[in-house]
Each structure stands twice: as C-alpha cells, then as structure tokens.
Amino acid sequence: MDLNLQVMDLSSEDEAVVATAKRDGIAVLSTLLTASELEPIRTEFDQLHLDMGKGPGTPGVRDSISGDAVLAYPHLVALYSHPRIIAVAQAILQEPVPWAWQIKTNRYTPEHVGVRRHTDGVVGELSPPFPRLSMAVFLDDIDAVSGALTYVPGSHLWHFAAADQPDKQSPTQEQIDTGDYIPVALRAGDVVIRVPEVWHAVIPIHHMRRYVTASYMTRGELSAQMTERIVAERERRVGSLDHVPEDLRPYYAVD
C-alpha cells in the first residue's frame, strides 16, 4: 500500500478547529453535513443496527458496532475518509496518513443515565503528545438538557510526557472526578474532534443519541499500553484490503 499521500490543505475555519482541539482537547466542525446529506446516513445507521441484531434500540442501553461490519454501508464508511476530517487529523497528529485503527457506530437509547467522568488515556501512564485523535459525526441534536458532552479544557495535556518535566505524573481518577466540566451543544451534522486523553463525560440522555465515530493514530511511537491494545487489530488487517472502499483503504491499511 502506497502511503505517500499529499497532506490536505486546511481552510482558515479548520485551522481554528485544529488550534482549539490542541489547546482545549475538543473542537467542533460545525455543520459538516446538511439535512439532505444526513438522511441516507441515518437510514444506513439504523439498518446496520437492525442487521446486526441490535433492533431499534432498548431503553437505557448503549449499542456499538465496530470493525468490518460497518464497511458494507457506503454512506457511513465515507465519513471515515471525509477530506475535512482527514485534513484536521493530519494537522493535529502531524501524520500524513493517519491510521483509522477503530471505526464504529454508537447509539444511546433513552432514558439513559449518561457516561461517567473519565479519560480515554491510560490512568497511571503518560503518553507521547498527540498520538491519537477521535472524531464523532453526530446524527441527532445534543444539548444541555439531553446528552451533552462535557469536558475539562486542557486536561489532555496532563497526560502527555514532557522532556522538561521528567518527574511528571499521570492524573488520578480522583482528579478526573473533581475537574471543572463544561458542556458542548451540538446540532445534527456537527463533528466533534476530540483528543482522547481529555477528561469527558455525558449527561443523562432523554432523546436518541446516535453518532458515527473513528479513532485515528500516528504510525510512530505510542504509549506501552496503547501498543498492546492495537496488536490484535494490526494482525487482523494484514492481508487483502479488497473489501475496504478505495477512499478509506490508505487510512485502513496497517502500513
């Protein structure tokens, strides 16, 4: 697989998104998708969940589908290689060809209690700066009354190793629990760009909360525990990628 792809240009709007994500840990690509573009994506999303035996949704349950099962749904899979999303990932990760190591859908069916305060980093371990990035394309409106994402701006930076701070310690769960969280309001068609290490949570959910998400990473140095987590996925993807849509293939390939 030829990974010598050109780094995409950023608009001034997306340059601001990159700067905000690096500073705060979360930024929003507003209205990436129009109402007409969302319609077939929602249709495929719901059909995928039916096809995978998840039904229309069970109150209080989070349904997730990941991996190759998603690849058969063209409107969903196109989001993982969307030019604006890839361009932002390239800029934040400083990686010409980010590896889409996880592709996934998530559905929270109300009434749902939400998600506790946490980090997607490894508690007790520091990592190199900006090794990973998550994106989530929201298919439903999210607000401060139902399902809002909350986070602590800048908290991701406390999880990164620094050469000038050899004695730096990873934050504890107690620190994460007591952080000063703020909400993010979202409209259907918005995309959350999130540095995984940022502390975040989800308030109780009273309306359907659906989103299509991917995790990208650099092809260089990672933390020890993250390296262990992705060994199986790297091994699984070695071989033919004929089943992967062409636009996604460079980002799906291991190397």
Distance of CA 144 to the CA centre of its chain: 21
Q: What is the mean pLDDT of residues 159-164?
A: 94
Q: What is the pLDDT of residue 223?
A: 66
Which amino acid, 73?
A: Y
Model confidence over 93-132: pLDDT tens digits?
A: 999 999 999 999 999 999 999 999 999 998 889 999 999 9
Share of the chain above pLDDT 70, in %: 96
C-alpha to C-alpha distance for 59 and 95, rounded to whole angstroms: 40
Mean pLDDT to the nearest integer, 156-173? 94
pLDDT at position 136 over 90: yes
What's the rounded mean pLDDT across residues 138-155? 96
Among left, alpha and beta (phi > 0; psi -120 to 50; other), residue 242 is alpha
* String of DSSP letters for 40-101: HHHHHHHHHHHHTT-TT--TT-EEEEEGGGGGG-HHHHGGGG-HHHHHHHHHHHT-SS-EEE
Calculate mean pLDDT across residues 184-197: 96
The answer to whether residue 219 scores a pLDDT higher than 90 is no
% of the chain with per-residue pLDDT over 90: 84
Report the alpha-carbon distance of residue 25 to residue 195 in Å, rounded: 5
What average pLDDT does the structure give for the chain? 93
Summarize the confidence of residues 20-44 as an average pLDDT: 97
Q: How far apart are CA 33 and CA 129, in angstroms?
A: 30
Q: How far apart are CA 233 and CA 85, in angstroms?
A: 22
Residue 4 has pLDDT above 60, yes or no: no
pTM of the model: 0.94
